[in-house]
Structures are given as structure tokens and as C-alpha cells.
Homo-oligomer: A and B are copies of this chain.
Amino acid sequence: MSKLYVIGIGPGGREHMTLKAIETIKKCDIIIGYTPYIGYLGDLIEGKQIYSTGMKGEIDRCKLAIRKAKEGHNTAIISTGDAGLYGMAGPILELKEEIEVEIVPGVTAAFSAASELGSPIMHDFASISLSDLLTPWEAIEKRIEKASEGDFVITIYNPRSNSRRNHLEKAVRIMLKYKEKDTPVGIVRNSGRANTEIILTTLQSIPYEKVDMLSILIIGNSNTYVKGNKMITPRGYHIG
């Protein structure tokens, strides 16, 4: 029986794909995804039918994937990072009928960015997307507030686009009510891909104009510090 696979391909670089993601793509006839993400698959797509569409085409891609699997093709729909965090696993399972679906997890951008910054996550953390396309801004603000009150490390996805230029500034203003001004902040653009750019700064000094939709932010907790050029959140081991 044909099957629909929802695959997290990791941040982009081939080396961060799991064996299972690679093997699953190899056995599918049809690959569906957002156009720039298909590009990360390189020669893995040779000889396959590719359906790629632009931003905001998520639900159309999901419906196409379900139709192709129903028609008897082993079909892959890909997300960058993990398949289930801000990915395609949710809408596929919401829409699916009759067909068999398997989710293949992947390395999310926050962990890739963390590995490039040092060890800024290490401990309890909260992941928040600043995109209000699908979530009311008030709910996002409340989460930023509660995560800051709880002294979580905070990872920020979708920090800033042309249509929401000041969301990140608003979010930082809320975080500054609870977090110190000099809390370390790591910004990674194109994490886990070619041309990775890293900025290590503090909560009061974020260079907003350098942040875009290809950037991930990691904001420290009250114990996070910088040693050399590495951002470190200690977990509390007695280091002797």
C-alpha cells in the first residue's frame, strides 16, 4: 500500500538530515514542498516528480500530497527542521482520510543554531513563533510574558518579516520586564546551511535591522553567560 510521509529534513544542510529522512525520500516517487526547501534536497530528487509551490501554499500542498498518496504513490511532503514543530504534520493529520501517514522527525533550527552559538539552550526552554498569520498577537504576547516570568531560555522563530517589522521589538520590551538588560542573546541567520551568520549580543542591544525570516533568536535565562565567543546556559553541575 502506498503511504504519505511527512519528513523533517533538518535546517537545510544535507549533513543534518537523518538516515531515515534520506532513506524515506529515496523510496518516494513524489516529493512536495515549499520551493526553496526542495532545493536543499540536492540530488536526492533526481528522477522524482516534484511539486513545489510558494509561501502560504501549505494547505494546497497538503491536499495534493494526500491526493497523490490516495492515487497509489509513495509520497513525501517535506518541512525544514522537524516535521511536527511549525511543520506539515499537523495539517496533514487534520486533513487525512483513508491513507496511511508516517511522520519522520528532524533536527529543528533552534538546536542547530544552539550548536553554532555554544550551548545556550541546555535547560528548560520555550519555543515561540512571532508569526501572527495563524495565531492572535495577544496569545503570542502572553506566551512571551509567561516564558519570561518562568525564566525559560526562549527560542524565537519567524522573528521579523516585512509585514511585521516591529513584532520582535514588542517581544523584547515584554522580556525586559523580567530579564536583565544584559541577558545574552544569540541570533543565527541561515543556521545549518551555507552562509551561516552569527551575532552574539544582549537583550538591550539587538540589531533589529539585521534580523529577518531566515533568523532564529535564542534568549538566555538568568544564568546564561558568554565565555570567549560561546553562549552558555549552565545546567547546574558542580564543575570542579
Q: Chain A: residues with CB nearer than 8 A to chain B? A: 8, 10, 14-20, 22-23, 58-59, 82-87, 89-95, 103-108, 111-112, 114-116, 118-129, 134-135, 139-140, 142-143, 145-147, 149-152, 192, 227, 230, 232-240
Contact = CB atoms under 8 A, between A and B. Distances in A.
Contacts of A192: 105
A97 to B, nearest CB: 10
A65 to B, nearest CB: 14
Given A123-B135, A127-B124, A89 B111 contact: no
Contact of A150 (B20, B134, B147, B240): B147
A112 B123 contact: no
A132 B128 CA distance: 25
A123 B134 CA distance: 10
The oligomer's copy count stands at 2
A105 B94 contact: no
Contact of A58 (B22, B126, B135, B237): B237
Given A16-B19, A16-B20, A105-B115, 14 more contacts: A15-B18, A17-B19, A18-B107, A84-B114, A86-B122, A94-B227, A94-B234, A95-B239, A105-B114, A105-B192, A124-B143, A126-B127, A135-B235, A143-B152
5 contacts: A84-B122, A93-B118, A107-B107, A124-B129, A126-B126
Interface centre among A139, A235, A240 (most CB of B within 10 A): A235
